[in-house]
Structure formats: C-alpha cells, structure tokens
Amino acid sequence: MKKGGFQRSSTKRASRRRVIAFGAGAIAFISSFGGSGAHAEPPLIFGLTPVFLTNDLELLTKLKAYLSRKTDREVQLVQRRTYEEITALLLSGQLDGAWICGYPFAQFRQQLSLIAVPVWRGKPLYQSYLIAPKGRPVTGIDDLKGDIHAFSDPNSNSGYLVTASLLAERKLRPDQFFRKVIFTYGHRNVVRAVASGLAQSGSVDGYVWEVMSSIEPELTAKTEIVSVSELLGFPPIACLKTQRLSEGVELLHQALIEMAQDNDGKHVLNMLRLDGFADEPETLFDSIAAKMMLVRGLGS
C-alpha cells in the first residue's frame, strides 16, 4: 500500500509538473506575440546625476514615459548619489546614455560623445553662482576667505570646479582658502546649507538656483548671489564614443532633439524649465576643460 501510494503521489506530482511546464510554455509563446517595440528590444538604460529635480517622482515618471514612447523601447532610469558613480557606470558601458556634468565630460572627453545638450533661456549655457546668506556684506570670492564653504560634488563644474579654478588663479586650493569645505551632493542641498547657516557660503549651479527661486522662493530668499561665472556649457547628455552610432543611442538622441515638438515632451521640459535639447559641438566645453587643467596644475 505504501508503494502504491508513493506511485500515485509521484504520478500526481509529475502531472502537476507537466501542467506547470505547459502553462509556462504557453505564456512564453503568447508573450512572443504580445506586442512589439519596448518588449522586442533590450531596454535603454539612462543615467541621471543627482541634480535637484531628479528626486521628483512625477518628473521621473513623465520623463520615462516620454522616452519609452518616442524610442518604442523600455527605458530604465538609473540614479546614484554622486557624479562619480554615474560616470563610472557610463564609462564601463552599463548605461546607454547619461545626463552628466560638463566637468566629467571634459575629464573623459576621449571616451565620451555628446548625445544632446539642454537649452535654457535660449542657449546651451549656464553659470555657476557663489552664494552667501542674505544680507551678508560680501562682494566677491575674496570676502569668503576663512568660510565654511558648501560645494555640491567634487566632480561638478558649477558646484566645485569654477570656484576651485578662481582660487587656482590665486595659487590656492579650496582647503587652503576656506576654513572648512563640505560636499552636500546636490545643488539644492548647497542652497539649504547656506540658507540654514550650516555653511557661510556655497558654490551652486545657477540654473538650479534660478529654478528654485520660482518653486521654492522662501528658501532662496535666505541667500543672495555674491558673483556669477562666465557662461559655460550646460550639463550634457553623453554616451561612450563606441556607442554613439548604435541604434539605441540614436533613438535616444532623436527623442531628446524632438522633445520640444511633442506635447508630452513639452510638459517634461516645462517641469525642467528648459527650452529643449540641441546638437552642439564638443568645443562648447573647452572653457571647462581649461579650468580643469588650471586646477590640476595646482595639484587640487
């Protein structure tokens, strides 16, 4: 009886396995006919550095939906805390493209190509702002000597390199000029640090400060602009040179370039306060590269 029971049990289990296997096979078979586009091709992996709006769930959702529809591919957005992490993923080929900063682009110019550059206020340019608490009597960087100074990221152009290059012109490193340097890993956090008194001054992306002034005026009102840099290449969308002519990257390029002509795309641009994206020459970032070489020459 035990033997017979075992055989009947084994037969039942075998039958269940056949049913499950048949069901899985049927699902796979049906799925192969269940659509095209996003399900027929590998996903596009798009990286985002921690600029101030990337933690906005609605923005991320709409950006992903727009890019997925325009490319007819599944799009996966990848975020990391630092510029270095996203740049490393891009250089190792784990991302199809990434919205990086002009400084990493200048650092790895031999390996990277531009996909598109954002256009803000009619130009593919922006500035770095030095900021201080509202009402502080300062007129330039020399008045900030001995401060606790907030930088955004050591690989940020507007949030580090521009100020470091100003000091390099004086043959000084940031740690020699400021009493203490802190990295907030986010331009929004630089504004918060200065507004709250955690830092006495800060280096911030001018685009971020201006947009924050329209959406969080009570925060930026606690700060004021000490000085602004010259116009510099806006943080670009980049990819590996070896992938620039790939189908996925070209689809991403077209989606970005055509964003301003698409209703959903316009909505995303409005949320970002951008005019659109454009094709620009790599020479747009020559001035950032020059600042990088100046700072490197000082050993900082």
DSSP assignment letter at 43: P
The DSSP H or E segment spanning 113 is strand 112-119
Of the residues 189, 210, 229, the one at which a domain ends: 229
Shared domain for 98 and 120, answered yes or no, is yes
Q: What is the pTM of this model?
A: 0.84
Shared domain for 220 and 250, answered yes or no, is no
* pLDDT tens readout for residues 27-65: 332 233 333 444 578 999 999 987 655 558 889 999 999
Of the residues 176, 202, 229, the one at which a domain ends: 229
The torsion angles phi and psi of 115, rounded to 5 degrees, stand at: -100, -45
Domain of residue 135: give its range: 128-229
Domain membership of residue 271 (yes or no) is yes
For tokens 């900082």, the residue is: 300
The single-letter code of the amino acid at 22 is F
pLDDT-flagged residues of the chain (< 50): 1-38
Domain membership of residue 116 (yes or no) is yes
Domain count, the chain: 2
Say how many C-beta atoms besides its own lie within 10 A of residue 62's C-beta: 16
Identify the CATH number of the domain in which residue 191 sits.
Answer: 3.40.190.10
